[in-house]
């Protein structure tokens, strides 16, 4: 994996398409556009591999897309073979437990490996990948001029894939009051089960699932007035505390904040936004990676129509906006309705929890936050 500082790898710093950010969304755009023949510049503020705050639940709807994106990376074959298959979920509130199938099953894939493999696939597809190269500004609305720490790059089209919170986020106001934060670490657990367990407590929850044999990922979303470390999160739920008592951490915890939900904004002028940069879906849905991979792919396909001379840039952007509303906006609306349950008073939350025992209701709610497979 290259570890070079950002540098002008292209003597003529002109690209058909510049992409800011190489998470699942940006890499998916880069692979798709480069395979279609575009000259792609992929700019990433950090480097790989690295841990990300994530439950690492990759829903079934994007596994075919992921396999196709990674087809030229030999190490990806092993990844699919060893990734735990998740075919069940359990919701735990106090002492109560509700179980439901995850059908079709999901995979549990560590972001440490996933993001690095996608980055490698983008390079193999022909994208000029710039690690440690934060984009600090952009001018124009087609063509675009990007400013980075080491130089300026021109591009005919621009995709922002810089995640939930960056200088390109349209609305950077932080609501007053306690913030929602994300926390994650991997732990050794003697007996892992192929199941995603969601431990609920007032103002948050913690998801636990195996990532490899004998190792679980614990990932929490919690209000900062309730807890700011995983150790404190575990104490908020008795069953969680019992289980975590047997764990040994195998990585330094990672955290992220703020987690703010806003209306989707997939385009601004002629700039396209993909993945979390367009909208952040509640982690409960376990669908953020899927939406990132798919929106990245759709955006690249739309932009390539412009690059091939079939449409104007503005038409390509409008086409993407239309596809976003059709494919992704309904999933975000469904997840936001589920999220509102988290802020209910405990006795109402408890009553709603009991409702999920109705046969078929929980699988129905899960399906509403997923694209049909």
Ligand X SMILES: Cc1cc2nc3c(=O)[nH]c(=O)nc-3n(C[C@H](O)[C@H](O)[C@H](O)COP(=O)(O)OP(=O)(O)OC[C@H]3O[C@@H](n4cnc5c(N)ncnc54)[C@H](O)[C@@H]3O)c2cc1C
57-96 residues near ligand X, rule: CB under 6 A: 57
What track of x and - describes contact with ligand X for positions 207 through 236 (by CB under 6 A)? ------------x-x---------------
For ligand X, the closer CB: 76 or 116: 116
For ligand X, the closer CB: 37 or 178: 178
**40 vs 13, 115, 151, 297, CA distance in Å?**
11, 18, 16, 14
The stretch among 151-159, 275-283, 315-323, 343-351 that binds ligand X (CB under 6 A) is 275-283
For ligand X, the closer CB: 56 or 189: 56
53 binds ligand X (CB under 6 A): yes
**42 vs 125, 136, 140, 152, 169, CA distance in Å?**
12, 14, 18, 13, 18
Closest distance of CB 336 from ligand X, Å: 14
55 binds ligand X (CB under 6 A): yes
**From CA 277, how far away is CA 257, in angstroms rounded?**
15
Beta strands 151-160 and 14-20 are parallel
Closest distance of CB 102 from ligand X, Å: 12
134 binds ligand X (CB under 6 A): yes
For ligand X, the closer CB: 168 or 306: 168
179 binds ligand X (CB under 6 A): no
Nearest to 154 by CA among 144, 163, 162: 144
For ligand X, the closer CB: 38 or 275: 275
What track of x and - describes contact with ligand X for positions 148 through 177 (by CB under 6 A)? -------------xxxx-xx----------
For ligand X, the closer CB: 76 or 160: 160
56 binds ligand X (CB under 6 A): yes
Q: What are the residues facing 137 on neighbouring strands?
A: 147
13-32 residues near ligand X, rule: CB under 6 A: 20-26
Contact positions vs ligand X (CB under 6 A): 20-26, 43-46, 53-57, 134-135, 161-164, 166-167, 182, 219, 221, 256, 259, 275-277, 283, 286-290, 292
């Amino acid at each position: 994996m290259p570890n070079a500082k950002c540098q002008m790898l292209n003597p003529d710093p002109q690209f058909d398409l510049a992409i800011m950010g190489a998470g699942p969304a940006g890499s998916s755009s880069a692979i798709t556009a480069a395979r279609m023949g575009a000259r792609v510049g992929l700019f990433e503020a950090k480097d790989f591999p690295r841990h990300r705050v994530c439950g690492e639940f990759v829903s079934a709807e994007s596994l075919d897309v992921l396999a196709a994106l990674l087809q030229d990376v030999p190490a990806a074959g092993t990844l699919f073979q060893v990734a735990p298959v998740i075919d069940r979920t359990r919701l735990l509130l106090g002492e109560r437990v509700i179980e439901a199938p995850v059908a079709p099953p999901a995979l549990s894939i560590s972001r440490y490996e996933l993001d690095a493999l996608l980055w490698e696939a983008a390079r193999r597809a022909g994208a000029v990948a710039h690690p440690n190269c934060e984009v600090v500004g952009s001018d124009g609305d087609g063509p675009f001029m990007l400013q980075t720490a080491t130089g300026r790059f021109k591009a005919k089209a621009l995709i922002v894939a810089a995640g939930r919170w960056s200088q390109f986020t349209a609305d950077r106001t932080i609501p007053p009051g306690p913030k929602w934060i994300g926390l994650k670490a991997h732990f050794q657990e003697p007996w892992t089960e192929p199941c995603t367990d969601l431990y609920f407590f007032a103002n948050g929850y913690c998801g636990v699932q195996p990532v490899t044999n004998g190792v679980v990922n614990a990932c929490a979303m919690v209000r900062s007035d309730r807890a700011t470390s995983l150790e404190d999160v575990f104490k908020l739920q008795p069953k969680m505390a019992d289980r975590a008592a047997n764990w040994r951490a195998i990585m330094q915890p990672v955290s992220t904040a703020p987690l703010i939900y806003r209306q989707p904004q997939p385009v601004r002028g002629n700039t396209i936004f993909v993945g979390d940069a367009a909208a952040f879906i509640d982690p409960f849905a376990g669908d953020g990676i899927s939406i990132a991979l798919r929106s990245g792919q759709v955006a690249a396909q739309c932009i390539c129509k412009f690059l091939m001379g079939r449409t104007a840039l503005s038409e390509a952007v409008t086409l993407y906006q239309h596809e976003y509303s059709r494919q992704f906006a309904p999933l975000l609306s469904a997840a936001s309705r589920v999220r509102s349950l988290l802020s209910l008073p405990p006795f109402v939350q408890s009553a709603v929890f009991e409702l999920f025992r109705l046969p078929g209701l929980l699988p129905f709610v899960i399906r509403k936050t997923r694209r049909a497979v």
